Amino acid sequence: MKHLLLKFTFVLSLLFSSTAMSADFPTKEPMGGQPFGHSVKKVSDGLYVFRWWVYRNIFMVTDEGVIVTDPLNPKAAKLLRNEIRKITDKPVKYVVYSHNHHDHISGGNIFKEEGAKFIGHKNILKELGDHPSAVTPLPDITFDSEYTLQLGGRTIELKYFGPNHGESLVVMMLPKEKILFVVDIVTPRRVAFRSMPDFWPDEWIRSLKEIEQLDFDYVISAHGPENQPAIDPAAVVKEQRMYLEDLIAAVKVEWDKGTHSPDKLRKLVKLPKYKHWRSYEQWLPMNVERIWAYLHMGW
């Protein structure tokens, strides 16, 4: 029942969310006035961050070919391929999915047609099978808890921490560079996305605690406007966890006083410590209501 309720909430959130991706991808500026556009930033030798609108992925150029992560959508994937071609004529050998959500992993056909193999957690097969997309190839390679991808002397370690944001999200570790690529469960200096669609608050916190134990110095997150850094210090993982813990604690204080109305909680609960974070005014009340559901319904 917990899983069914989460999926229902996720669908509703997408229906009413300005970031929901349909067959026609956005052509205006639907969220926070952030302009559309794309850019590429070189992070280290052979490692690049590609940005489209407020989405990011990474790609790695090696002596034997290119590794691409989340292709985002058909429009972004074409732009991504063009940017890769400016850097190298080597083929894209692998595309790695972070998780099942279409707004991150659509558009990979352009790489599939060129012979790339797709990698994702085993749960993606069922998730994409239940919600198929003509522009989202199924993975060729799946795994359970960990998978090490090596190409041209470079390594990316894929790690699964259980359910947290959906049931297939993997974190990508670059051990040589000590960089972590994290999608959706860490977005530096921004409160949680709207009503936290397909997020499980308790599992999210657990996962972040486990991720904090990894050996990394920097984080590349999958969301952020153009004026935000492409790479952040490792401390942003802890900051994200602390926000969630503070959010739950603040809602619980009012809950224990007998305030069980989501409408009242939305008005009462404030987190001034985070008022400088992006989308605080707009999304904090929605975050609060999600925690109300966690306390009220147990999911």
DSSP state of 208: H
Residue 246 predicted with pLDDT over 80: yes
Long-range Cβ pairs for the range 112-120 (8 Å, 24+) = 112/137, 115/91, 116/68, 116/91, 116/92, 117/93, 117/141, 118/94, 119/94, 119/95, 119/143, 119/147, 119/149, 119/158, 120/96, 120/168, 120/170
Global pTM value: 0.89
């925690």: which residue's tokens?
291
DSSP 167: S
Q: pLDDT confidence of 225, banded at 50, 70, 90?
A: confident
Helix residue ranges per DSSP H, the chain: 2-16, 74-87, 102-105, 109-112, 123-130, 201-211, 235-256, 262-268, 280-297
pLDDT of residue 34: 62
Domain annotation for the chain: domains and CATH numbers: 2-235 (3.60.15.10)
Residues 69 and 20 sit within 8 Å (Cβ to Cβ): no
The answer to which of 22-31, 122-131, 208-217, 236-245 has the lowest mean pLDDT is 22-31
Interatomic CA distance for residues 295 and 299, integer angstroms: 7
Q: What is the mean pLDDT of residues 264-275?
A: 98
What per-residue confidence (pLDDT) applies to 19? 34
Check if the beta carbon of residue 198 is closer than 8 Å to that of residue 10.
Answer: yes
Q: How far is CA 56 from CA 27, 71, 201, 229, in A?
A: 18, 9, 23, 11
Mean pLDDT of the chain: 91
Secondary structure of residue 211 in the 3-state scheme: helix
- Residues 289 and 298: their CA atoms lie apart, in Å, by 13
CB atoms within 10 A of CB 79: 19
Q: What are phi and psi of 202, to 5 degrees?
A: -70, -40
Answer whether residue 210 shows pLDDT above 50.
yes
pLDDT in tens, 93-147: 999 999 999 999 999 999 999 999 999 999 999 999 999 999 999 999 999 999 9
Residue 30: predicted pLDDT: 52
pLDDT, position 247: 98
Q: In this predicted model, which residue has the larger pLDDT, 3 or 74?
A: 74
Q: Residue 32: what pLDDT?
A: 54
